[in-house]
């Protein structure tokens, strides 16, 4: 079951005390990388949102953001008297150094950053339950987009897999010809040995070398098993990483078949199989 790593969803929301928009988008990435942008009023929710996304996603560069246009909670103002004293002393020093006798005013001191802190009076524990349904809703829209794109990618992957399987069938069809060619070469070497003097040990070595160099039955069997495993793994959740590793194994078998091959028809088929594998791996980089 494939899902695209790219997706996008955006939703406007409005309640009695809050209004704004939520956006969720993602791009291809080898690992999961979650970036969260929140207004200061909602910064306490970052950990909860990060956990929500990390539990549901496996790969991709994910960007989540909330923008507020209304946030109507009571405001409390708290003074920092130590900061006020520090600011007053600093401003007084500046005045003396500049020859200014006027003392810093309360208004000036209060206007300096850090002297007065305004805080929204809200129940942070109740804030996440209030926003979670909105986060869940936009996530479902985002997942629907990823699923649609994943289905299109899946069709492409299995189209290429069919090319690979077709190539394997062509190779299998040529196995009798390959075996016949090996036997002909062995007979020619045997006849040569009879003329030049028969050496049983040398002949057995020649047989072993020919079978090792040109026999591809084992590679064909392993490749067929890998293809069956590919179809089985593709039904798992987020299978892309496992399938990419399996493609490497299949590529190794195809390369070995190509290096041992002695037929033009098989050589052309190997090129097609390698192209199909490369296309599959390219598509796997786009899905989770």
Measure the CA–CA gap between 277 and 274, rounded to whole angstroms.
Answer: 5
Measure the CA–CA gap between 27 and 35, rounded to whole angstroms.
Answer: 12
**Burial of residue 26, with CB atoms counted within 10 A of its CB: 0-12 exposed, 13-18 middle, 19 or more buried:** buried
Looking at residue 172, its pLDDT comes to 93
What topology is assigned to 7-73+123-146 in CATH? Ribosomal Protein S5; domain 2 (3.30.230)
CB atoms inside a 10 Å sphere around CB 270: 20
In the chain, the percentage of residues whose pLDDT exceeds 70 is 87
Among 91, 67, 86, 52, smallest CA distance to 19 is for 67
Name, in order, each residue with C-beta under 8 angstroms of 259's C-beta and a sequence gap of 6 or more. Answer: none
Categorize the per-residue pLDDT at 244 as very low, low, confident or very high, splitting at 50, 70 and 90.
Answer: very high
pLDDT tens string 47-77: 999 999 999 999 999 999 999 988 776 556 6
Looking at residue 264, its pLDDT comes to 87
Categorize the per-residue pLDDT at 177 as very low, low, confident or very high, splitting at 50, 70 and 90.
Answer: confident
The residue extents of the domains of the chain are: 7-73+123-146, 75-119, 147-284
Measure the CA–CA gap between 286 and 4, rounded to whole angstroms.
Answer: 6
Pick from 19-23, 91-95, 132-136, 230-234: least confident: 91-95
What mean pLDDT is reported for the chain? 87
pLDDT tens string 253-274: 999 999 888 888 899 999 999 9
Name, in order, each residue with C-beta under 8 angstroms of 78's C-beta and a sequence gap of 6 or more. Answer: 116, 117, 118, 119
């Amino acid at each position: 079951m494939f899902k695209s790593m790219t997706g996008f969803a955006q939703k406007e929301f409005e309640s009695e005390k809050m209004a704004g928009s939520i956006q969720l988008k993602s791009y291809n990435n080898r690992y999961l990388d979650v970036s969260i942008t929140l207004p200061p009023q909602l910064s306490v929710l970052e950990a909860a949102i990060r956990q929500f996304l990390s539990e549901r996603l496996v790969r991709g560069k994910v960007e989540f953001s909330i923008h507020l246009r209304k946030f109507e909670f009571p405001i409390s103002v708290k003074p920092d008297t130590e900061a006020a004293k520090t600011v007053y002393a600093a401003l007084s020093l500046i005045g003396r150094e500049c020859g200014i006798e006027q003392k810093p005013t309360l208004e000036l001191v209060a206007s300096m950053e850090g002297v007065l802190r305004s805080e929204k009076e809200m129940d942070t524990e109740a804030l996440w339950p209030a926003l979670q349904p909105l986060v869940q809703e936009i996530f479902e829209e985002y997942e629907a987009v990823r699923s649609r794109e994943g289905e299109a990618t899946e069709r492409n992957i299995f189209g290429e897999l069919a090319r690979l399987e077709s190539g394997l069938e062509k190779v299998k069809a040529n196995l009798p010809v390959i075996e016949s060619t090996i036997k002909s070469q062995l007979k020619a070497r045997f006849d040569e040995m009879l003329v030049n003097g028969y050496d049983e040990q040398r002949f057995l070595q020649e047989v072993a070398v020919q079978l090792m160099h040109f026999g591809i039955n084992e590679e064909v069997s392993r490749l067929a098993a890998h293809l069956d495993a590919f179809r089985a793994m593709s039904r798992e959740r987020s299978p892309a990483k496992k399938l990419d590793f399996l493609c490497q194994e299949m590529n190794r078998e195809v390369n070995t078949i190509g290096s041992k091959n002695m037929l033009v028809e098989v050589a052309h088929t190997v090129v097609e199989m390698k192209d199909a594998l490369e296309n599959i791996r390219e598509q796997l980089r786009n899905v989770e």
